[in-house]
Structure 1
Amino acid sequence: MTASEVLQHLYLLNTSSPDFLRVLYGLIRYDEDEQYSSTLEGAELTRLVDFLDDVRSFPPVSPPAANQSPQALCSIHTSDDVFRRCLRKLRAICGCHSILPSSHIIRGDLKRIGDGAIAFGGFADVWQGSHDGKRVCIKVLRISLNDDEFLTKSFYKEAVVWKRLRHPNVVPFLGVAHKPLQFVSEWMPNGTITRYVRDNPGADRINLLLDVAEGLNYLHTSYTIHGDLKGPNIIVNHDGHACLTDFGLASISHGINSIRVTHAHGHTPRWTAPEILKGAEEITREADIFSFGMVVIEVFTGRHPFNDSIATSVTFKIMDGERPARPQGTQELGLVDPVWGMTVNCWQQEPTHRPIMAAVVGFLREW
C-alpha cells in the first residue's frame, strides 16, 4: 500500500474503534525511518500533521485502578505509548518539513507595542504586543531560519511541545505568527523570577519554588523534559505565581525518562548537570532536577548561580563536583536547613541520587 492509501484507511477509522490504536501504532512504528511521511507533500502532509495533532490532543489516559486486570493494564500502557509516539512523530515531521498544524497558527490582529524589544536572547527578541486587544508576549526570531538547520528544527519542535502543555505553572502558548516567525504567549507582567525576587524582597520564595516544582513535575509526568530550566525561563504572572516557559530544548521522552542529546546548542553551564557537560548521550529528568537546585540559589539571592565566576570556569567546577556555597542571610527568607538539604540533594553528582520531582513537590507543599 502507498502512504496515501494507508493514511486514508486510518483517517476513516473511528477513534473509538478497537482497530484505531492498532493501525495507528503500526503506521508510526513502520514510519520510524520516514517511509511514509517523507513521501508526502502539500495537502497530504498538512492533513497528516493536523491528524496527528488531533490524536495527541486526546485526554491523557487515566491512571489504572489497583484491581484492574493485566489485559486492561496492557491496553492502557499501549494506548498511552501510542499517543506519546504520536506526539514525537508530529514533532519530528514539523521539524523536518518546517510545518505546523493549523491549530498552532494564530489568527486575528497581532501587533507589537513600543519602540523596541523588552528583552534579548541569543536568537530572538521579546516584545510586548497585543492580539485582538489583549496584551501578549511576542518572541521574534532575529535571524533567518534558513541560516541554521538546528534552529529551524528547534523552532517548529518547540511550538509542538509547548502548544500541548496545559498547567497553571506553564506559560500559556497562544500560537505562531509568520513573516517574521513569532511565538505568541500570554503576557506575564512581573518578568523573570530572578527579577521578581529582586523587586519584591518580601516575596514568598518557598511558594515560588513550589510553583516551579509543580510545573516541572507536570512536564515529567507528561513525558516531557524541559532541558533548559533556569531563572530567565521562569516568568511570574499577574497573581505572583511562577510559570515555566521557553521550551526550545524540550522534548518528548523516548524511554521512561530520557531524550537523546542531538546538539549541545543552547545549554547554559551555570544550570547544567555535570553528566550533560561531560557529554552524556541523553538528557534525563534528573538533569532537570539538577537545574532546579540551581534555581533555588537564584530565588533566594536574586542572582545567577556561581555569580562571581565566569561561565567557562563554572563548567569545570560543576564537572568536578563543586556547587554554590550556601547564601548568607537567607534563613529568614526561607532557606532553612531542611530546604538547603533538599537543594543539595537535587544537585548530587550522581543522577540516580537526586530525588524525583514529585518528592520535591511533596516536601515543599508540607513545608
Structure 2
Amino acid sequence: MSHQPDSEPVKDLGLFSQHVGWTFADPSVMPVAERPEAWEQIHSHQNVLDNVEIEHERFSRGGSAAIYKGILKADDTRNIQVVVKCYAAIHEQGKSRVEAYEKAAQLIAREVKVWRNLNHPNIVRFYGLVMGNTFPWNTSFVPVEPQYPAVVCAFCDGGKVMEYLQKNSEARRLPLVLDAAQGYVYLHKYNIAHGDVKPDNILVKTTTDGVRAVVSDFGSSRMIDEADFPGTLSYTWPYIAPEIKKPPYLYTKATDVFCFALTALVIISGVQIFAEEEDRFIARHRLELGERPKRDDHESSEMSDEVWKLLEESWVQEADGRKSMADVASTLSNLLSANN
C-alpha cells in the first residue's frame, strides 16, 4: 500500500530505518538509566505489534497522525488500555514524496528518542513501536506511508485538560496545574525542553487516588545538551515565548516556563489569553511587545494573590529573569499544602 510513484520505490521499513540507530541511542544518557527496574515487560525498543489489538474506527486525529484506541497485552493476566499514534507524511507543494517521507521519518525519530525512556507519573507513558503494521489506515486527511512505525502509549481517559474541566466543573484546578509542573520539572532535570507547552498537550487520567494531569506530545522537544538535536520549531499562538522568534530560534527551559505560566492561567481561569481578540496573531503580537494578561480577565476562586504573583514572575519578558520550573512547582506545592 504505497503512495509513492514507481520511480520512488519504498524501502524496507521506509526511510525511518535510517534513523533507528539514532532513535534507540545509548539509554545511559536518559532518565531510565537511573532506575532500570521501572521498565515494563514490553520494552520501549520492542516491536509490540503482536501484543496490540486495535479498534477499527479512528479515535481522533492530531497534526500528521491518526490516533486509535487499543489494548496492549503485557502478559497473560494484564491488559493495558493504550492509544496507537499512526504517523503520515505531509506532501508539501514543490517537494517530492521521498522528501516528505524523509522529513516525517526524522520527526518520528526525534519524538521517540526523547519519549522512549521517560518514566514519571506526570508524563504519558511510552510503551513501544509497531513496525510494519497492518492497522486500518482510514486516514484520508493526508497520504500515509504504511511502513512508518506507529507509537503505542498510555490511554488517558480524561482527555485534554480543558475538556476534562468543562465536563467536571467542580474539579479543583490547581492540583492539575501542579501535576503538569512536576512533569516539566522532570524533563528539565534531564535537560529536555518540551517545546510545545499548552493546555492541549496536558491530558488527564484516572488513578486509584483520583485524577492526575500528565504531559504529552514530545514532537517539538529538544535535548539541550546535544548540539545536533535542535528540536522542531512548532508552536501554537499565543503559547510562544517572545525570544523564540529571535536567533538562535531554540526552545529552552525558560521558554517552557513562559508558556507554562500562560497555560496555568488558562487552566485555572478557563479563559483564553486575550480572549477578546478574534485574531490570535494579534494576541501573540501583544505578548511579544511585553503586554500580559490582566487578572481581572481571569477571575477564579483558585487565583490567589500568591498564584498571580507566581505567574507574573514566570512570564517576564527576559528569559533569564524567569523562575525555574522547579521553583514554580515548589511554590505551587507549598500553596496547595497551606490551603488544605
Gaps of 5+ in 1: 1-42, 62-100
Alignment of 1:1-367 (within 5 A): 52-53=26-27, 56=30, 59-60=33-34, 103-113=45-55, 115-118=57-60, 120-132=61-73, 133-143=79-89, 146=98, 147=100, 149-178=102-131, 179=133, 180=146, 181-239=149-207, 240-254=211-225, 261=230, 264=233, 266-309=234-277, 310-326=279-295, 328=297, 330-332=299-301, 334-367=302-335
| Structure of larger gyration radius | 1
Give the CA deviation at 1:57. 6.8
Higher relative contact order (CA 8 A, sep 6+): 2
Q: Secondary structure at the match of 2:275?
A: coil
The superposition leaves residues 192-250 of structure 1 with CA deviations (integer Å, 9 ceiling, x where unpaired) of 11111111112121111110111111110111110111111111111311000100011
- The answer to whether the Cα contact below 8 Å between 2:27 and 2:33 also exists between their aligned partners in 1 is no
Compute the displacement of 1:137 (Å).
1.2
* Distance (whole Å) between structure 1 residues aligned to residue 30 and residue 284 of structure 2: 38
Quote the Cα distance in structure 1 between the aligned partners of 2:253 and 2:28. Answer: 27
Q: Provide the secondary structure at the position in 2 that maps to 1:127.
A: strand
Distance 2:105 2:312 in 1: 37
TM-score normalised according to structure 1 size: 0.68
Q: Cα distance, 1:300 vs. partner?
A: 1.8
Judged with a 3 Å threshold, the aligned counterparts in structure 2 of structure 1 residues 324 and 170 are, in CA distance, closer, same or farther, namely: same
Deviations 1:5-27 (A, max 9, x none): xxxxxxxxxxxxxxxxxxxxxxx
Deviation at 1:104, TM superposition (A): 4.5
Q: Are the equivalent residues in 2 in contact too, given 1:259–1:284 (CA < 8 A)?
A: no
Q: Which runs of 5+ in 2 are unaligned?
A: 1-16, 36-42, 74-78, 91-96, 134-145, 336-340
Contact 1:108 1:131 in 2 (8 A): no
Q: 1:50 deviation in Å?
A: 5.9
C-alpha distance in structure 2 between counterparts of 1:107 and 1:54, whole Å? 26
| 1:146-177 Cα distance to aligned partner (Å, 9 max, x none) | 41544321211111110111111001101111
RMSD of equivalent CA atoms: 3.0
> How much does 1:347 deviate?
0.8
| Secondary structure, counterpart of 2:106 in structure 1 | helix
CA distance in 2, matches of 1:241, 1:285: 23
Q: Measure, in 2, the Cα distance between the counterparts of 1:299 and 1:172.
A: 22
Deviation track 1:74-94 (CA, whole Å, cap 9, x = no partner) reads xxxxxxxxxxxxxxxxxxxxx
1:271 Cα deviation (Å)? 0.8
State the shift of 1:190 in Å. Answer: 0.1
In terms of mean alpha carbon deviation, does 149-158 or 216-225 score higher? 149-158
Give % identity. Answer: 26
C-alpha distance in 2 between matches for 1:321 and 1:129: 45
Length-normalised TM-score, structure 2? 0.73
Q: CA deviation at 1:306?
A: 3.1
